[in-house]
Structure 1
């Protein structure tokens, strides 16, 4: 008897992306190119990296400048770093928790610097700049507050042994990370000094 099963017509298509999902996908593909080329990156390069037609970019972005501003906004967004901070194992020793947090936050800051620096170097304008003759943009502290709270959670298991509340310690720790000295200590040294102070153990404070 002849098999009446209809032949397969090929793989099932993936569900269509929403405009927001497509924007996010394009921005993720664009950021490494923005870091490499700054504002001289072309929409054709971005489309190739994203695996889409160039016209698709202009279905969700008005122009290249809007796309570049979206890349800056994504770099500034603390979303990824907050997720990584929340995933740090609270069962680890405090020094290890803080070392992981420092690496996460430094990577976030490096990404911001790379994106904004590349645009500045190539003459691009970012939304963090003051418009000619205009006021400075309003400061949005929500991201910093969320980051401080996420770091404070890392101190919570030692709450009874802390000299200061976790929120204050988190603010101090972030202050160390945000200073960016030219000869910035490595992560282990920074965490050690933060937890144990600047003096060596064999130093006699009465000398």
Structure 2
């Protein structure tokens, strides 16, 4: 008689399950803030609600983990590292600026939704986290800065400053966009052009 016993797929480790639940919760937190329910998160993750409380102490810990995940720069660093260096420098920087803008908007959506719903998002909420968790890193961490610096390398002999200094200045320049407000209408591409060419029009 042939073998009929089905092998069970290996289960997730606790850390893998935590990561899966956080990924499912993030868009819900950005939409509903602290009003999101663990039932909604469980439904989005395709798990039972009780599973959440086997890997998180309570909903506050899950929300704090979502804040941490929103700040993580890993994904945006990988996106910037994948930009082809044979593109013109302006195109490389515009692609990087778009990726960074999307990352900052995600942070704003998550933290803003939590604060709007009365949750102490940010440092206060992160105090609830257990010691094993690391504090959030800002998107201008070393990984992102190194990835941006690499974008300047093909033109390094023509640059006025070293690539690492230009990367730090470029990231600081982009962060000013968030403080301008929507009414300013400044797009990431506008800041790239201003960074590379200054405020003056090119001579005819």
TM-score normalised by structure 2 residue count = 0.87
* 130 and 38 in structure 1: CA distance in 2 versus 1, 3 angstrom threshold: closer
Aligned to 1:26, which of 18, 21, 27? Answer: 21
1:117 aligns with 2:112: yes
Question: Does the 8 Å contact 2:73/2:139 carry over to 1?
Answer: no
Higher relative contact order (CA 8 A, sep 6+): 2
Q: Quick check: 1:156 aligned with 2:153?
A: yes
Deviation at 1:143, TM superposition (A): 5.5
Offset at 1:127? 3.6
Q: Deviations over 1:83-129 (max 9, x none)?
A: 11111111111111101100110011000000000000001122424
User: 1: CA distance between counterparts of 2:118 and 2:137?
Assistant: 25
Deviation at 1:191, TM superposition (A): 1.4
Q: Within 5 Å, which residues of 2 pair with 1:110-189? A: 110-129=105-124, 144-179=141-176, 180=178, 181-182=180-181, 183-189=184-190
Q: What is the CA-CA distance between 1:9 and the residue it aligns to? A: 4.7
- Counterparts of 1:94-113 in structure 2, within 5 Å, are 94-113=89-108
Give the match for residue 134 of structure 1. none
5 Å-filtered alignment, 1:15-94, equals 15-94=10-89
Cα offset for 1:187? Answer: 2.7
Cross-structure match for 2:132: none
Greater gyration radius: 1
| Runs of 5+ unmatched residues, structure 2 | 127-134
CA distance in 2, matches of 1:139, 1:71: 10
* Contact 2:64 2:125 survives alignment (8 Å): no
- SS of 1:201's partner is coil
CA contact (8 A) 1:77 1:143 kept: no
Distance 2:158 2:104 in 1: 30
Look up the match of 2:192.
Answer: 191
Taking a change above 3 Å as real, the CA distance of residues 184 and 175 of structure 1, as seen in their structure-2 partners, is farther
CA RMSD of aligned residues (A): 2.2
Determine the C-alpha separation between the residues in 1 that align with 2:142 and 2:50. 39
Which 5+ residue runs of structure 1 have no aligned equivalent? Answer: 132-137
TM-score of the pair, normalised by structure 1: 0.85
How many residues align? The count is 192
